[in-house]
Amino acid sequence: MFCPLCLSEYRDGFTECGDCHIALVAASEEASSGRVRLWKGTRQSKLDRILGELDEANIPCHFKETVDNVPSITLLGIPIGPPRSTFEYEVWIFRKDLDRARLLSCGT
């Protein structure tokens, strides 16, 4: 069983994703085919605005945060000093909600 929004896998017997509160589907292919990435970026303020607009419009969504630790300074290819963390965000929605979400200016 798979969540069609966040793609989490569940054991048999579960019917709803614990995070997304969406009904599960039987196959991972079915789960991944129904969703689309609405937005990808590095600004948390924009992520917050998009999530707020989607919530207000009752459009189910899932967001993913990726952290990349990059050396702040390198000397001859050797990292010197503490690493600098950069964040990248993605917002995923159901394909059927894409037009409605775009009208909210979420994808821009």
- Which domains occur in the chain, in start order? 1-33 (no CATH), 35-103 (3.30.70.1370)
Q: Is 49 helix (H, G, I), strand (E, B) or coil?
A: helix
Q: What is the pLDDT of residue 104?
A: 87
Distance (Å, whole) CA 60 – CA 96:
11
pLDDT of 107 above 60: no
pLDDT of 71 above 60: yes
pLDDT of 68 above 60: yes
What per-residue string of b and e applies to 79-90 under the rule 16 or more CB within 10 Å gives b?
eeeeeeeeeebe
Mean pLDDT along residues 89-108: 87
pLDDT category at 72 given cuts 50, 70, 90 is low
Distance (Å, whole) CA 96 – CA 107:
15
